[in-house]
Amino acid sequence: MGSGNAIRGSRVGAGPMGEAERGEAAPRVRVSFWCANMHETRPSFASDAAVPEYWDCPRCGLPAGQDESAPPAPPRNEPYKTHLAYVKERRSDTDGAAILAEALERLRSSSRTHW
C-alpha cells in the first residue's frame, strides 16, 4: 500500500532538463592551446566571446598559447631569499664589518658602565 505521496522518489532538480526549460545554448567554438610540454587543451567559448591569449594547462599548470609551434615559455621561478640575502644585496662586506664593529663597541661600552 502506497503512502499517497505523488512525487515519491523524486527530488527538487531531479531528472534531465531540456533546452525548453533552460533556454537555448549559446553557439560555442573550441580553441586549441598548447603548453611548453606540448599538452593540448581545447576549452570551449561562446562564439561571440573574446578568446584569451593564454590558458593554464590542466595537466601541468604551465601557460598555454594558441601557436602550437611556439608555446609560451614556462615562468621563471625566483628562489626564496632569506633576510640575510636581501641585506647582502644592499650592503657590502666592508659595510657589514663596520656596522658590526660599531654595534660590538656599543655593547662593550654599555656593559662596562653596568659592572
pLDDT tens digits for range 65-91: 999 999 999 988 888 889 988 888 898
Q: Are strands 63-65 and 44-46 parallel, antiparallel or unpaired?
A: unpaired
Q: Is 114 annotated for ligand binding?
A: no
Alpha-carbon distance of 97 to 105, in angstroms, equals: 12
Angle at alpha carbon of residue 71, lines to 69 and 76, rounded to 5°? 145
Domain boundaries, the chain: 28-65, 83-112
Answer yes or no: is pLDDT of 18 > 60: no
Q: Is 76 annotated for ligand binding?
A: no
**Amino acid identity for residue 41 in this structure:** T
Q: Which DSSP category does 29 fall into? A: E
Enter the C-alpha cell of residue 75.
615562468
Q: Is 12 annotated for ligand binding?
A: no
CATH superfamily name and code, 28-65? RNA polymerase-binding protein A (2.20.28.270)
Answer yes or no: is pLDDT of 101 > 60: yes
Q: Is 108 annotated for ligand binding?
A: no
pLDDT for res 33 = 97
